[in-house]
Structure 1
């Protein structure tokens, strides 16, 4: 078939129209993303919270007469209370402890007991620990002046961490409010999600992908909270038995740190140091230190056991997605990573198995 100049002009005009439309759509998408970008983290958290809490809303429909707006409001109010009360108590306790420590330090009554002779016999680091401890017990002011630059950097890092934590809590509370609005319209949201997934991956895969994303987010969320709660119990019992001051608040701090995917050793190591300094080195303090340190690392064992339960993909896929997502994207990546990896895993194996019938027969026939 010969292309006449008229046909060529028509094809060129159609191609130009397609390029102009594609360019306009790209510009529109870019502007929309730039406008929505400041609220991206907030909306991602809201969607994660809404998906995680929505089964509770479904269970309460019967007792509360199916009033989705009222149910969502009650759930969010309870969630606010559960998070705000421990956070407030922990903040008050930490502020009081810092103020009390400053008063003791200014009064000059703070003294570190000298180390036992057995400390010097510790393998590898015993002599260094003994010398450092002995200097701290006799000349604490001089030791602090010696490490003043490092202490200043540490203080600035702690201040930055506290500021970031406060901003994170504010975003989290706003996300809870938005999650309540999403839960009040949960059925419509689910149908819209299925429509979007079907439009992207085809009508045969849309509902399965939407259900897979939902199940993965819930499994990761429940695994994170469950692991943090187990760690709180393991460490909190040891704190109570050893008689650590404010043991309950420290246990709540372990729970909050675990939910934020920070290591529990941020709490356990200072407590171990406090116990050794105040009570000395003995069989009881050594057993306590080893137990608490191991309990602080228990999440590394519990994650492979709890993450991925109820998801239609192998557990290592969810675990690798959670760990890789957390490394690359922080706490939000902990949820996005396994969702993306699980969806990719499912689509990949669906593509592998979706072969023409003739090829399947040929593969089954021995040569």
Structure 2
């Protein structure tokens, strides 16, 4: 039966109404996103912190008369006191390291040893690297003048990264405060997340997906990023107290190694050897060596405590998330990137492993 002109007009008008509504919704969504975008990293970081710390909130709440607000306030204050002081010391050390390097280059006080002869025998780059190293050891001033434009660009990039560290620390403080507010309304937030997931993925899969996202965020944030951050703090404070040159930069390298799941001893052992070589064996150097070496192995103790059986996410996913997050979002992206990429990875495999819907063929014989 062919549609009548009246039904065609009604169909076209209904389609036009749907398109207009979809367009208005799209415009509203874009407008809301533009307003929310400046606070996107802050809110996302706050949610990650709130989900990660919330089990502590639950344990502490029972001891404080089931006062969620009071428990969240105590956790935030303790976290700020524990984190801000070491982070401030590391930031100051990083700025001092950069300033000392710049002053050494400007004053001509930097001394570079001559390269070993075997460097020239390396394939492809050996001779060129040997010549460049020899020029740096004999005539550093002319070498700096030769590459001054490149060095200027690198210096500006380094200053930008250092400024980004300060901004990231400020964002972290605000994110921790907002996370405390979120934790104070944790039960309502969990119900809301389940409702949203049920609306998007269906009533059957919604609660399971919400629980999966929560478990993945806690596993990666605690077992990878959190452990790397704690280890950086422990080792960095030891470097600062001992006065190791470039303590702030070395601490950041320890953080990157921890996120990449590489041992911190790649940094701690050479630093210990340098301290013993320059200062000799004494009570202070032995105590420093023991402390830093044990702190470099702290992840072996922290992982079973904070991670349990392990993160059900391959380490390349965490590494790509950390590096990609750092490139796109700076220091904050270094923490947010692996968490969000791990959540996306787990949701993707949940979709892949979901059994396909089976339906009875249309031409199946009837009983």
Whether these two folds match at TM > 0.5 is yes
**Bigger relative contact order (CA 8 A; separation at least 6):** 2
Shift of 1:151: 2.6
Shift of 1:54: 0.8
1:338 aligns with 2:365: no
Shift of 1:7: 3.0
Q: Taking structure 1 as reference, are residues 99 and 45 closer, same or farther at Cα in structure 2, changes over 3 Å only?
A: closer
Match of 1:284 in 2: none
Q: Taking structure 1 as reference, are residues 257 and 333 closer, same or farther at Cα in structure 2, changes over 3 Å only?
A: closer
Q: Deviations over 1:210-239 (max 9, x none)?
A: 0000001111111222245457778999x7
- Between the aligned partners of 1:321 and 1:250, the Cα distance in structure 2 is 25
Match of 1:283 in 2: none
- Between the aligned partners of 1:94 and 1:24, the Cα distance in structure 2 is 50
- Residue pair 1:220, 1:335 contacting (<8 A) in 2 also: yes
Q: Which runs of 5+ in 2 are unaligned?
A: 279-291, 327-332, 362-367
Q: Which runs of 5+ in 1 are unaligned?
A: 280-291, 360-367
Shift of 1:138: 4.9
Greater CA drift, 216-225 or 6-15: 6-15
- Between the aligned partners of 1:146 and 1:6, the Cα distance in structure 2 is 81
Match of 2:32 in 1: 32
- Residue pair 2:97, 2:247 contacting (<8 A) in 1 also: no
Match of 2:12 in 1: 12
Match of 1:87 in 2: 87
Match of 1:155 in 2: 155
- Between the aligned partners of 1:174 and 1:128, the Cα distance in structure 2 is 49
Q: Taking structure 1 as reference, are residues 234 and 179 closer, same or farther at Cα in structure 2, changes over 3 Å only?
A: closer
Match of 1:285 in 2: none
Shift of 1:39: 1.5
Q: Taking structure 1 as reference, are residues 98 and 197 closer, same or farther at Cα in structure 2, changes over 3 Å only?
A: closer
- Residue pair 1:215, 1:310 contacting (<8 A) in 2 also: no
- Residue pair 1:219, 1:309 contacting (<8 A) in 2 also: no
Shift of 1:4: 3.4
Match of 1:61 in 2: 61
Q: Deviations over 1:34-77 (max 9, x none)?
A: 22122112111111111111111111111122211111122222
Shift of 1:333: 2.8
Match of 1:120 in 2: 117
- Between the aligned partners of 1:71 and 1:251, the Cα distance in structure 2 is 36
- Residue pair 1:309, 1:315 contacting (<8 A) in 2 also: no
Q: Deviations over 1:63-115 (max 9, x none)?
A: 1222111111222222222222112212333444556667777777x363754
Match of 2:193 in 1: 193
- Between the aligned partners of 2:29 and 2:128, the Cα distance in structure 1 is 61
Which residues in structure 2 correspond to 1:311-350 (within 5 Å)? 315-316=313-314, 319-326=315-322, 328-330=324-326, 331=333, 332-350=336-354
Report SS of the residue matched to 1:62.
Answer: helix
- Between the aligned partners of 2:345 and 2:102, the Cα distance in structure 1 is 49
Greater CA drift, 24-33 or 249-258: 249-258
- Between the aligned partners of 1:161 and 1:30, the Cα distance in structure 2 is 31
Shift of 1:326: 4.0
Q: Taking structure 1 as reference, are residues 100 and 141 closer, same or farther at Cα in structure 2, changes over 3 Å only?
A: same
- Residue pair 1:120, 1:126 contacting (<8 A) in 2 also: no
Match of 2:226 in 1: 225
Match of 1:289 in 2: none
Q: Deviations over 1:116-147 (max 9, x none)?
A: 8xx22455277777766665555443443344
Greater CA drift, 219-228 or 38-47: 219-228
